[in-house]
Structure 1
Amino acid sequence: MKFKLTALFLVLAMGILSAQSKKWTLQECVEYAVENNLSIEQFELDLQNIQIDESDALGNFLPNLNSRVSATGNRGLSADPITGSNFTAGIFTLGGGFSSNVNLFNGMQNKNRMNRAKLSAIAGQYRLDDLKDDIRLNVALNYLDVLSNKESLKVAQAQYAATEQDLNRTKELVESGVVPKGDLLDIEATAAGQEQAIVNGQNQVLISLITLAQLLQITDYENFDIADEAFEIPPSDILNNSAKSIFAKAVDFRNDIKLSESNVSLAEKDLDISKGARYPTLSAFFNYNTSYSSRKQFDPATGTSSRLDLIDQLWLFDGITYGGQLSIPIFNGFSTRNSIRRSQINVEKAKVQLEQDKLALETTVNQAYANVNTSFSAYEAAEKTLEARRLAYQYSKERFDVGLMNSFLFSQAQARVDNAEADVIRTKYDYIFRLKVLEFYFGIPISLD
């Protein structure tokens, strides 16, 4: 028994440690965000409401059916609801029946409402998918921001480790009288600045992790972390396509454009519904009623009064009414005409909005295309600068080690390397993100592979 409890404790402990050490990949972050985002949940509920509207539209084609039952007691002067004669004795009556109405024609409004409900469900799905696209892109941006901050922190820590070596070496040179103590103070100042950079870098990593966790609706910030992987420039042939061809493909599959197109169709269907109010409406109805009275009924054939049984009266005093009704609109204070005019304006507004969305998408794609080229050029330039700064630093270090350069100039050379390394990291992740944005508009799922 003791062995089983110990084994159970070890399993639980390992599970807790495993959960705390979980490193989230980009794909896991994207999938989790889509599944747990509150805005997506709200949009999904809205879509369920839209689907209920579709059921309402289907119900307009079906006849309604209603029933009624009434029970009434009277004392004093009353009228028999069956014979219509007045009397002063007490009476108890029952009545009941059912009725049904069906719309046969109303200017195709029911059909147009049904089609509109279907279009609305499609538009709602596009709206939901467009939100998911935006969330995927935001997650990728924040994920890359964490990676960039982590890599910057590693560089700062490596720079501090190198400075510590220089600091120890300088202490030995100062003690042996080879270099003045001022050189040691300069390097100590450089080391202190790098320590501060490490603290700032740690804060940047923490803040970016919290921002990403909040986007994923995760509140356990202390145990949240992403996979520690070094991402290099991913291979991509997206620039083999022109900005025009990328835009042409984006128009075909982007959910925001599909949503705008659906809004045009919805506005056109609203116009059809408004026009339907100009036509006559034809409906049919059917009613069945029966009743029972506790008052005795006079039988002329026998000259006597008697009370029929409940079932007999319900069968004897029942009745059926049926018929049809045609309603022709003649004048309604311009409401139908104005409704049609408003619907026509809404159609034009939806078309204008569609064109605006296409223009906005084209501008975004062209800007993204230019950003990819610009950011890649900046990254290449930053790498060349870093290479040159490292060579210059190495030369300065050799001169410093033999006393041909003072600590201030040597620190300046090291600071230039630090800045160049920071620029490489910044431009690298800026290029990766802009590249992923352009691929996203081309229909390539977000991935760092």
Structure 2
Amino acid sequence: MNPTATLLPRTLPWAGALALLLGAAGPVGAQTTPPTQPPAGTLAASQVATGPWTLQRAIDYALEHNLTVRQNQLTAENGSAVLRQSKAALLPTANLNGSQTWNYGQSVNPLTFEFQNQTTRSNNFSGATQVTLFQGFQLRNTIKRNTLDYQASLGDIQKSRNDLSLNIASQFLQLVLSEELIRSNQARLNSTQQQVERTQKLLKAGSVAESNLLDSQAQLASDELSVITAQNQRDIARLQLMQLMNLDEASQGGFQIQVPELADPDEQAPLSEDPAATYQTALTLLPEIKTAELRVRSAEATVDVARGAYLPRLVFGGSVFTGYSSARTVTSVGSDSTARKTTFFVEQPGGGPVIPLNVLLYQRNTTVLSQRYWDQLDQNLGRQLQFSLNIPILNGLQVRTNVQRSLIGVQQARLNAEQVRLTLRQNIQQAYADALAAQRQFGASRRQVEALTTAYRNAEIRFNNGLLNGTEFNIAKNNLATAESTMIQNKYQFIFRRKVLDFYQGRPLAL
């Protein structure tokens, strides 16, 4: 079994790719959301990508330039805007309206409501305000729900930052591992090259058979292939790290990391962490736990919003309106007058004949004019106050259906929160088991390397003296190479597993 198959938690989505890079055999287990890091400190300022990159510098740069983190920040900003809008819904609404209309032919005068057959121009102006006095507490419950959603979105930002930090640490260690494998394979290649040169001299002296030289040359070709394979893995690991960091093209050419000094697992104290205690600590630190709980409370607030539709709605409103019509006229009485002759017939007392009586009457002259614009606006001014009460009785069972759906949403949110906690506990248990196994495997691998090193030196002496053929010597050498590679990989498995456990306990990611 290749020990590199357990370098990363099986539930991490990037475990499969990294396991393949390390030469892991067999499929990676079920994948879920990776564990996240407790809230980190303030981001470092934007920095120029020059010189070797440390792990902390790579994390800071990635957090500042990663697109997923930016998307989550925009999502949180959108949630903040939604929250402000729900708070503003408690305020009264106020609107002004104005219109200008031309009527041709038969129409109704908008001010006198009389039919007329003429071309008129009219203006209507109004201002209205409205405030909701009671709406089943829906407005306040909506504010409560949106506040919880906004807080949850802030947790999503922190979770994406923590996920990215852990991914960067994983890929950084993968690059360090690749560099060490290159050095190991290059050392074996140099040793094989020297062995070929010695074998050539021994062959010329007649001390060994030609088959020994052929076997050494074949081993040299295999070692060259191992170096090239390790270099390819190093290049892929570097590329993936730069992609995670979203490094610009100008900085990719000279990208190098600062290789830290990492102690071997057997030089460190045995694992003493209690998975149960680590789980309890992680529950108080990881943002996804708090986010899941906030979304449960948000779902419960959604139920309260839906139930509020059962209650009556009381709204108070007021408006002011006025208007103007070109068809409206006024009669103007002039200062001059016109004399008019009028005849009256007067009956005689006692039944005598009717006597005509001519009387001269004076009547003032009048003129019909269109009423002035501002006079109409002043005279047509009207005001209105209104209370509106809406009592829901039957609306196609919409309210009841919405309440049932929101109750189901609460159950889904609770199950999701339980799944998040379950995944966290499983990840901690798996990380602890893998770290303990990697530490034990490293100790066994080191003892194996020590034993195979002694066997290889003995085989080399025998091979140089012609007492061992090339095939058996190459087998001894390849066994040692495999053991050394396994020991190196076990070392980095343990380092990463240990960092994962530190991560769950609130310690920063540092090498």
Per the TM superposition, whether the score is higher than 0.5 is: yes
- Residue 362 of structure 1: how far off its partner (Å): 0.9
Which of 297, 321, 327 is residue 295 of structure 1 equivalent to?
327
SS in 1 for 2:201: helix
Q: Residue 371 in 1 paired to residue 450 in 2?
A: no
Are 1:108 and 1:276, in contact at CA under 8 Å, matched by a contact in 2? yes
Tell me which structure has the larger Cα radius of gyration.
2
The equivalent residue for 2:33 is none
AA aligned opposite 1:358: R
The 2-side partners of 1:287 and 1:110 are apart by: 24
- Residue 136 of structure 1: how far off its partner (Å): 1.6
Q: Residue 385 in 1 paired to residue 385 in 2?
A: no
The equivalent residue for 1:232 is 263
The equivalent residue for 1:417 is 480
Aligned residues: 430
The equivalent residue for 1:8 is none
Alignment of 1:392-403 (within 5 A): 392-403=455-466
Residues 248 and 445 of structure 1: is their aligned pair in 2 closer, same or farther, counting only changes over 3 Å?
same
Q: Residue 437 in 1 paired to residue 500 in 2?
A: yes
* Per-residue CA distance 1:159-196 (angstroms, 9 max, x = gap): 11122222222222222222222222222221121111
SS in 2 for 1:288: strand
Task: Percent identity, please.
Answer: 31
Which of 134, 154, 177 is residue 125 of structure 1 equivalent to?
154
AA aligned opposite 2:167: N
Residues 326 and 236 of structure 1: is their aligned pair in 2 closer, same or farther, counting only changes over 3 Å?
farther
Are 2:303 and 2:406, in contact at CA under 8 Å, matched by a contact in 1? yes
Are 1:20 and 1:223, in contact at CA under 8 Å, matched by a contact in 2? no
Pick the structure with more helix per residue: 1
The 1-side partners of 2:333 and 2:92 are apart by: 44
Q: Residue 135 in 1 paired to residue 164 in 2?
A: yes
The equivalent residue for 1:241 is 273
AA aligned opposite 1:367: Q
Q: Residue 350 in 1 paired to residue 413 in 2?
A: yes
- Residue 305 of structure 1: how far off its partner (Å): 3.5
* Per-residue CA distance 1:288-323 (angstroms, 9 max, x = gap): 001122235345999763433322221121011112
AA aligned opposite 2:425: E
Residues 180 and 76 of structure 1: is their aligned pair in 2 closer, same or farther, counting only changes over 3 Å?
closer
Gapped regions of structure 1 (runs ≥ 5): 1-18
The equivalent residue for 2:292 is 260
SS in 2 for 1:239: coil
Q: Residue 23 in 1 paired to residue 55 in 2?
A: no
Worse overlay, 318-327 or 24-33: 24-33
AA aligned opposite 1:323: Q
Are 1:70 and 1:96, in contact at CA under 8 Å, matched by a contact in 2? yes
Alignment of 1:165-180 (within 5 A): 165-180=194-209
Q: Residue 214 in 1 paired to residue 246 in 2?
A: no
The 2-side partners of 1:48 and 1:238 are apart by: 46
- Residue 446 of structure 1: how far off its partner (Å): 1.4
Q: Residue 154 in 1 paired to residue 183 in 2?
A: yes
The equivalent residue for 1:3 is none
Pick the structure with more strand per residue: 2
Which of 275, 280, 288 is residue 312 of structure 2 equivalent to?
280
The 2-side partners of 1:144 and 1:326 are apart by: 67
SS in 1 for 2:387: strand
- Residue 444 of structure 1: how far off its partner (Å): 1.6
AA aligned opposite 1:53: V
- Residue 225 of structure 1: how far off its partner (Å): 3.0
Q: Residue 102 in 1 paired to residue 165 in 2?
A: no
The 1-side partners of 2:108 and 2:225 are apart by: 100
The equivalent residue for 2:422 is 359
Are 2:332 and 2:369, in contact at CA under 8 Å, matched by a contact in 1? no
SS in 2 for 1:326: strand
Are 1:94 and 1:292, in contact at CA under 8 Å, matched by a contact in 2? yes
Alignment of 1:109-120 (within 5 A): 109-120=138-149
The 1-side partners of 2:287 and 2:485 are apart by: 37
The 2-side partners of 1:20 and 1:166 are apart by: 43
Residues 79 and 399 of structure 1: is their aligned pair in 2 closer, same or farther, counting only changes over 3 Å?
closer
The 2-side partners of 1:139 and 1:31 are apart by: 10
Worse overlay, 283-292 or 387-396: 387-396
The equivalent residue for 1:76 is 105
- Residue 401 of structure 1: how far off its partner (Å): 3.6
Are 1:238 and 1:439, in contact at CA under 8 Å, matched by a contact in 2? no
* Per-residue CA distance 1:251-287 (angstroms, 9 max, x = gap): 1111221121111011100011011111111111111
Give the aligned CA root-mean-square deviation in angstroms: 2.3
The equivalent residue for 1:43 is 72
SS in 2 for 1:241: coil
The 2-side partners of 1:96 and 1:21 are apart by: 67
AA aligned opposite 2:297: S
Are 1:102 and 1:285, in contact at CA under 8 Å, matched by a contact in 2? yes
The 1-side partners of 2:465 and 2:77 are apart by: 77
Residues 444 and 194 of structure 1: is their aligned pair in 2 closer, same or farther, counting only changes over 3 Å?
same
> TM-score, normalised to structure 1's length?
0.89
The 2-side partners of 1:270 and 1:29 are apart by: 41
AA aligned opposite 1:107: G
The equivalent residue for 1:61 is 90
The 2-side partners of 1:36 and 1:123 are apart by: 22
The 2-side partners of 1:343 and 1:439 are apart by: 39
- Residue 30 of structure 1: how far off its partner (Å): 1.7
SS in 2 for 1:386: helix
* Per-residue CA distance 1:76-117 (angstroms, 9 max, x = gap): 344332233444443222211111111111011000111111
AA aligned opposite 2:215: D
Worse overlay, 166-175 or 47-56: 166-175
The 2-side partners of 1:53 and 1:359 are apart by: 32
The 1-side partners of 2:295 and 2:50 are apart by: 47
- Residue 230 of structure 1: how far off its partner (Å): 4.6
The 1-side partners of 2:78 and 2:248 are apart by: 30
> TM-score, normalised to structure 2's length?
0.79
After the TM superposition, which segments of 4 or more aligned residues of structure 1 sit over 4 Å from their partners?
234-238, 299-304
Are 1:296 and 1:305, in contact at CA under 8 Å, matched by a contact in 2? no
Which of 218, 225, 228 is residue 189 of structure 1 equivalent to?
218
Worse overlay, 85-94 or 203-212: 85-94
The 2-side partners of 1:230 and 1:79 are apart by: 93
* Per-residue CA distance 1:195-252 (angstroms, 9 max, x = gap): 1111111111111211222222236354333224453348877933300000011111
Residues 237 and 132 of structure 1: is their aligned pair in 2 closer, same or farther, counting only changes over 3 Å?
farther
